[in-house]
Structure 1
Amino acid sequence: MRTLSLVLLLLACGGATLAGPQWLNPLELDEVGRGIVTELRLPRVLFAALIGAMLGLSGSVYQLTLKNPLADSFTTGAASSSALGAVLAIALGVPGHGVALCAFATGLGGLGLVYRMSQTRGRINPITMILAGVVMNIVASAIISFSKYYFEDSLNAIVYWLMGGIFLVSWDRLVLCAALLAGVYLFLSRRAQALNLLSLDEASAQSLGVNVKQLRSWAFVLSTLMVSVAVSFSGIIGFVGLIVPHVARSLFGSDMKLNLFYSAVMGSGLLVASDALSRTVIPGGAELPVGIITAILGGGFFFYLLQTRREALWHG
């Protein structure tokens, strides 16, 4: 099944590479067409695949470690707080990867604050966590709005970036995202059994030999790092981390070794398909920010979960 999912992902990437304002026939590519594929579309598709995998993987980890099936980078406030650091860095003219570092710092700080506020007598309250995430989104949005008002010279760049999209692609960013995704995935997959035990109460997991505090801290930091890098490079692309882990859990069960893999693969496929749609949905070559598409899909899925699953959300 893993091989089949990877084959389907490769086929989706191949189709997305040929999709665009001008559809390309792989059997009739001239020199210009090959240049479009190799220099523009292929790097973009690969970047979308990596960003989608990072968001899907982080959502899977958030939902498990926070014991909240509605948790992802968007609902926990990690994405908005990361965006806050990135927006301030863009407005202040911070060069290069400094934007990602600022996004990571504010993202980790925002998620840490949400995590602390959601604890009641040492235990995480899922409802409080979502409310704290909403508050974090509001506060971050307010500061971002102030930045847009105060830094008028950067207004267009900030607004366009906040919509979310695969805009600025470079090979160094591709290498960085690939290395980060591979490192985090290997780290988490080797601890999949311990992560499974985190679904129990903390006392039970501790009695079975899991250092709950250390493992949860590492999971938070690494997941937030992926979110921060993704946000700094592509803006806010919401709900990928909410949709994908649920679908993976429904199809393949709750074993984290499987859920980590399929969340990453399905996150890649979802963002690759959404990005291809964003390049083709508007006639005449105009491009729709991919964050709009994922927000529509994710918002509908979010309402579906709230309406139909409710108390059975976690165990199905």
Structure 2
Amino acid sequence: MLLRSVPLKTSMLGLGATLVFVALFSITVGPMNISLADSAASLLQPNNDLAPHINLVIQEIRLPRTILCMLIGAILALCGAVMQGLFRNPLAEPGIIGVSAGAALGAALAIVLFSELSLQYPAFMNFAAVPVFAFLGGALTTLLVYKLGTGKFGTSVTIMLLAGVAISALSGAGIGFLNFIADDQMLRDLSLWSMGSLAGAKWSGILLAAVTLVGLFVVFYRQAMSLNALLLGESEAQHLGIPVQKLKRKLILLTAAGVGITVSLSGMIGFIGLVIPHLGRMLAGPDHRVLLPLSAVLGALLLTAADMFSRVVLAPAELPVGIVTAIIGAPFFLYLLFQQKGRIL
């Protein structure tokens, strides 16, 4: 209820300022101790007196990683908010219902099939093969879960969760088989994202993620009122003149595209799409005109903080960020499941 008692613009400005501060602090965190003043000087003064290796670490490693982290967090939170709105249940999330696993299997197939081209044509892998295969895997998984979980009486969250378990198991088996037959180069590529990692952030990936985030946000925000109507029920939304089935197909495919691209860039990072929209509804209510931008900011903030924690908790080693988000999200999911058990049994 915090944002309900404070003007929305003021709250969003406060969250935005917090995100900027966390992002700046994230640039200073890592095995090499670099002060906030030196980090700011490296970013703001092209002709500074800092050592070349400090500029290299800040500008080529930490800055791209932090930007990609914020973009990925925002995309996952947006996709989670839209999926929960479509299915009218806070348990719906791309990772839990198997969409992320399907996208990961598609990305793994692309890495293995096109591994020989990755060194000669890295742009082909970053912008074509891996994202396209990840999108196809995520889209097929989403459509399958939707078909299995939807009947004449509406959408069954129980069937969706069971289908997600089965699809995640099959995808895990497929990824395990690909790891078994992969050579050293394939294994190195697979290891960058198998447990979720932002260590391989590149400017080409940042461009792809930024375009994806802007495109998804524009389309999703235009459908905010339709998502609000869906909260009343599918029949009620149809009586209001909303083409429910067309809207579902459109948003499901766009959600799969967003999840597929994030998987191709950072691996499987779960629970952001589950925790953040629920937190946003707790703070500001279910109105998607507020929930969508709020989820994007909170998603970027949470994933950036989780990435910082992953870099310092076992320093100088690095804990995969997917493990950190799972530690945060799994207990939260159990809490939601306990709350919902009377409705889904």
TM-score w.r.t. the length of structure 1 is 0.94
Q: Distance in 2 between matches of 1:23 and 1:273?
A: 18
Deviations 1:243-272 (A, max 9, x none): 111101101100001111111111101111
Query: 2:192·2:199 contact (CA, 8 Å) conserved in 1?
Result: no
**SS at 1:227 equivalent:** helix
For 1:60 and 1:271, locate their aligned partners in 2 and report how far apart those are by CA, in whole Å: 16
Aligned-residue offset at 1:156: 4.5
2:202 is equivalent to residue 181 of structure 1: no
- Structure-2 separation of matches of 1:129 and 1:68: 11
Question: Structure 2 CA distance, aligned partners of 1:2 and 1:161?
Answer: 31
Which of 41, 55, 64 is the aligned partner of 1:34?
55
Counterpart CA distance in 2 for 1:213 and 1:309 is 26
For 1:151 and 1:175, locate their aligned partners in 2 and report how far apart those are by CA, in whole Å: 29
Equivalent residue number for residue 261 of structure 2: 229
Letter in structure 2 aligned against 1:300 = P
Contact 1:47 1:169 in 2 (8 A): yes
Per the TM alignment, residue 28 of structure 1 is displaced from its structure 2 partner at its CA by: 4.4
Aligned: 1:155 with 2:212: no
For residues 130-279 of structure 1, the aligned pairs below 5 Å read 130-153=161-184, 154-279=186-311
Q: Which residue of 2 aligns with 1:7?
A: 17
Structure 2 CA distance for aligned equivalents of residues 36 and 140 of structure 1:
36
Matched letter for residue 216 of structure 1: K
Distance in 1 of aligned mates of 2:304 and 2:207: 18
* Residue 47 (structure 2) aligns with: none
One-letter amino acid of the counterpart of residue 231, structure 1 = V
Structure number with bigger Rg: 2
Match of 1:49 in 2: 70
Q: Secondary structure at the match of 2:310?
A: helix
Please, which moves more after superposition, 46-55 or 207-216? 207-216
Partner of 1:74: 95
Q: 2:28 aligns with which of 6, 18, 38?
A: 18
| Cα deviation, residue 159, structure 1 | 4.1
Structure 1 consecutive aligned stretches of length 4 or more whose deviation exceeds 3 Å: 308-313
Instruction: Count how many residue pairs are aligned between Structure 1 and Structure 2.
Output: 312
Residue 28 of structure 2 aligns with an amino acid whose one-letter code is L
Which amino acid in the other structure matches residue 323 of structure 2? I
Report the residue type matching 2:26 in the other structure.
A
Q: Which runs of 5+ in 2 are unaligned?
A: 1-10, 40-49, 119-124
CA positional deviation for 1:162:
0.8
Structure 2 CA distance for aligned equivalents of residues 137 and 124 of structure 1: 20
Q: Does 1:282 align with 2:292?
A: no
Give me the identity figure in percent.
36
In the alignment, the residues of structure 2 paired with residue 190 and residue 166 of structure 1 have an alpha-carbon distance, to the nearest angstrom, of 30
Q: Deviations over 1:151-196 (max 9, x none)?
A: 3443353245211110221112111111110111011112211110
Letter in 2 for 1:163: M
Counterpart check, 1:83 vs 2:104: yes
Partner of 2:156: 125
Letter in 2 for 1:294: T
Q: Does the 8 A contact of 1:161 with 1:234 survive in 2?
A: yes
Structure 1 residue corresponding to 2:86, chosen from 65, 68, 74: 65
1:99 aligns with 2:130: yes
RMSD, aligned CA = 1.7
| Separation of aligned partners in 1, 2:28 and 2:101 | 33
Q: Secondary structure at the match of 1:161?
A: coil
Work out whether residues 112 and 182 of structure 2, in 8 Å CA contact, stay in contact via their aligned partners in 1.
yes
The residue type equivalent to 2:332 in the other structure is F
- 1:68-97, Cα deviation, whole Å (9 max, x unpaired): 211111111100000001111111225413
Change (3 A) 1:28 1:63: closer
Shift of 1:117: 0.5
Whole-Å separation in 2 of the counterparts to 1:198 and 1:308: 22
Q: One-letter code of the match for 2:55? A: R
Task: Kindly indicate whether the alpha-carbon contact (under 8 Å) linking 2:25 and 2:36 is maintained by their aligned counterparts in 1.
Answer: no
